[in-house]
Amino acid sequence: MVWRTKTGSFDAVRRMAIGSIPLCQERCFAASKEKNRLMNTAQKIIAAPRKSICRISDHGLWDTTKWAWSHVAARYREWSLNIETESWVDVDKLGYDPECHGYKPITFARFDSVMKEIEVKPGEDVFLDYGCGKGRALVLASVHPFRRAIGVELSTELCDVARENIGRAVRRLRCPAIEVVNADASRYEVPADVTMIFLWNSFVGQTLAMVVEQIRKSIEKNNRPLTLIYALPQGEKDVMAECDWLYGRRQIPASFWTGIDVFVYQAGKTERTVYQPLQSEPVR
């Protein structure tokens, strides 16, 4: 009888029920994300003893101790910046072509070791991160006083995560303008004001060649000082060494074995200051 005689009441209940659906979906999505995060954490905790034993065997106790401490420090950095950039994403889930890699962020310690060796001109330099993923390098760069920071990412999903991370960390950052661009890196035209580019093993082959050509064209069109930071898994070929328009090649040292080689190049009309690696620190 209520449905027939008091249609207003029924309509109000129906509207409330329909309106609650997006809220329920949002809560279910948040719960699913939290469940996945906890599962990833649990898997890492379970795998930690085996990884530690293998690393001690390969690199010694002291190196492994520093490596383990860097992981503890990384958890603290994620918490202090209020970001979530740790969990990897396989290339199959992203639907990339074979020349692109999945999401695997550079370590906090390795990125910090790079920035300690490079001069940043406050309010002048503009940072560009190719394949920014969830935004770790973009956030870490924005801790420094860049005038602007840009991240280029092909995956719409990862772009959304990167923007969320930047939004949560923004009060802790010194860079006043941070942008995430959803674009194909091989077709992305480098802005004329970019003075520092970070490339971390996001793609190889023809895709990487097209990205390098875009950088070269940008320098040719707007001749300016530009620093290129190229990070890649240890032992892989440094294709930047073949570019005759890049100069001043330096390898950035690490205080423990990271499995990552980092090279810094200069381009354009004036060389930027890149501090000499300390002789006491081994190049890893």
Rounded distance between C-alpha atoms, residue 17 and residue 52, angstroms: 52
Range of the domain at 118: 108-267
Same domain (yes/no): 218, 113: yes
Query: Is 139 within the bounds of a domain?
Result: yes
> What is the rounded average pLDDT of the residues 159-179?
96
Same domain (yes/no): 125, 24: no
pLDDT of residue 152: 96
Residue 36 CB partners (closer than 8 Å, separation 6+) = 87
Lowest-pLDDT choice from 8-22, 157-171, 262-276: 8-22
Same domain (yes/no): 120, 246: yes
Q: Which residue has the higher pLDDT, 275 or 214?
A: 214
Q: Is the full-model pTM beyond 0.85?
A: no
What H or E segment, with its residue span, contains residue 130?
strand 126-130
pLDDT of residue 142: 97
- Tally the domains of the chain: 2
Q: Which residue has the tokens 């480098």?
A: 190
Rounded distance between C-alpha atoms, residue 118 and residue 264, angstroms: 9
User: Binning pLDDT at 50, 70 and 90, where does residue 74 land?
Assistant: confident
Query: Is 283 within the bounds of a domain?
Result: no
- The answer to whether the CB of 83 falls within 8 A of the CB of 135 is yes
Query: Is 154 within the bounds of a domain?
Result: yes
Query: Is 85 within the bounds of a domain?
Result: no
Lowest-pLDDT choice from 37-41, 170-174, 210-214: 37-41
Share of the chain above pLDDT 70, in %: 67
Same domain (yes/no): 31, 133: no
Lowest-pLDDT choice from 13-22, 46-55, 135-144, 194-203: 13-22
Same domain (yes/no): 161, 245: yes
Same domain (yes/no): 182, 250: yes
Query: Is 63 within the bounds of a domain?
Result: no
Query: Is 42 within the bounds of a domain?
Result: yes
pLDDT of residue 284: 41
Which CATH number characterizes residue 185's domain? 3.40.50.150
Query: Is 187 within the bounds of a domain?
Result: yes
Same domain (yes/no): 128, 257: yes
pLDDT tens digits for 233-281? 887 888 899 999 999 889 888 765 667 889 999 998 765 555 444 333 3
pLDDT of residue 256: 59
pLDDT of residue 205: 86
> What is the rounded average pLDDT of the residues 124-152?
96
Same domain (yes/no): 8, 137: no
pLDDT of residue 25: 59
Same domain (yes/no): 38, 176: no
pLDDT of residue 42: 58
Query: Is 118 within the bounds of a domain?
Result: yes
202 by Cβ neighbours in 10 Å (0-12 / 13-18 / 19+) ranks as: buried
Same domain (yes/no): 45, 134: no
pLDDT of residue 4: 45
Same domain (yes/no): 150, 14: no
pLDDT of residue 281: 39
